[in-house]
Amino acid sequence: DAKTTQPPSMDCAEGRAANLPCNHSTISGNEYVYWYRQIHSQGPQYIIHGLKNNETNEMASLIITEDRKSSTLILPHATLRDTAVYYCIVRVTGSWGKLQFGAGTQVVVTP
């Protein structure tokens, strides 16, 4: 699986949009971009994934650049409960491959 690079931390004001960048310059054509988050002392929670088109669900939006070398996870209206470590992972969907977690981005949402 391709390696990803994320900023170690970022702060966000409550109610504002949080834009989390991820670089994956070595991504392969059949690898998807996945985002998970981990709230303190809980298991990771799936957020969203995509291949090349932008995706949106009830939790977030995922914007993938045309060359697929980077992506941005957008939390449209951050709340205090969105404070967590966010992990960007690339892998082949449906494969038996194992998820390898990087360091992620610690997002702190402040009032």
Partner 1 sequence: GAVVSQHPSWVICKSGTSVKIECRSLDFQATTMFWYRQFPKQSLMLMATSNEGSKATYEQGVEKDKFLINHASLTLSTLTVTSAHPEDSSFYICSARQGVGELFFGEGSRLTVL
> Which residues lie near partner 1 (CB under 8 A)?
36, 38, 41-46, 49, 87, 93-94, 96, 98-104
Given phi > 0 = left and psi -120 to 50 = alpha, else beta, which region is 15?
left
Q: By C-beta, is 21 or 44 nearer to partner 1?
A: 44
- Minimum distance from residue 36 beta carbon to partner 1 (Å): 8
Q: By C-beta, is 41 or 53 nearer to partner 1?
A: 41
Integer Cα distance of 46 and 86 in angstroms = 10
Integer Cα distance of 87 and 102 in angstroms = 7
Measured CA distances, 86 to 61, 66, 67, 72 (Å): 14, 22, 23, 11
- Minimum distance from residue 100 beta carbon to partner 1 (Å): 7
Integer Cα distance of 108 and 93 in angstroms = 29
Q: By C-beta, is 7 or 44 nearer to partner 1?
A: 44
- Minimum distance from residue 42 beta carbon to partner 1 (Å): 6
Q: By C-beta, is 30 or 65 nearer to partner 1?
A: 30
